[in-house]
Structure formats: C-alpha cells, structure tokens
Amino acid sequence: MDILYCKACAAEALRAGPDWPADAPDAEYFFVHGDGVVTVGADRQDGPVIGTPSDRWLGYCRDTLGMPVPDVDGLSPQEQSR
C-alpha cells in the first residue's frame, strides 16, 4: 500500500532529529512522507534524503513533529479505527 501523506517541514527541525544524514542537501525545507521517508520534493522520487527510516527517526517524526507515522501494516492508527 502506498502512503500518500506527506508534510513539508523546516530543515532546521529535521536536522535536530536523530539519524539526520550529514551529507543532506542544503535546503530550507524537506518533505516527510507518511512512512518517514524524507525527500527534497513532494514526490517520493525527488531526491531521497532518508530512504529507509530508523525506528528512532520514526519516533522523532511522531513525537516531536506530530506526524501520524503508520504501523508495520501500513495504516495509521486513524485509518485502522475506521
């Protein structure tokens, strides 16, 4: 199942997170997708910065950035309750 949710986030907030790559491009903001993948553009193919998010990164997205990160089945808690 493809996760279509993504959120533009200020680079400063993302750089503060765990596992942010030191060689990430210099940008003002990045796009964080529903599964924790981070890209330069809104499309998932637009320059992945974090292509395989760690559990620490997913926790940061959920707890600090307030993003609904889906569980292993690919559905967010909101979608599971429908």
5-62 residue pLDDT tens: 788 999 999 999 999 999 999 999 999 988 899 999 988 888 899 999 999 999 999 8
pLDDT surpassing 70 at residue 80: no
Alpha-carbon gap, residue 40 to 49, rounded angstroms: 7
Alpha-carbon gap, residue 27 to 16, rounded angstroms: 14
Per-residue pLDDT, 44: 85
Residue 72 has what DSSP assignment?
Answer: T
Mean of per-residue pLDDT scores for the chain = 82
Q: pTM of the predicted model, to two decimals? A: 0.77
Of 51, 23, 15, nearest in space to 35 by CA: 51
Name 13's Cβ contacts closer than 8 Å, sequence gap at least 6: 64, 65
Alpha-carbon gap, residue 53 to 18, rounded angstroms: 10
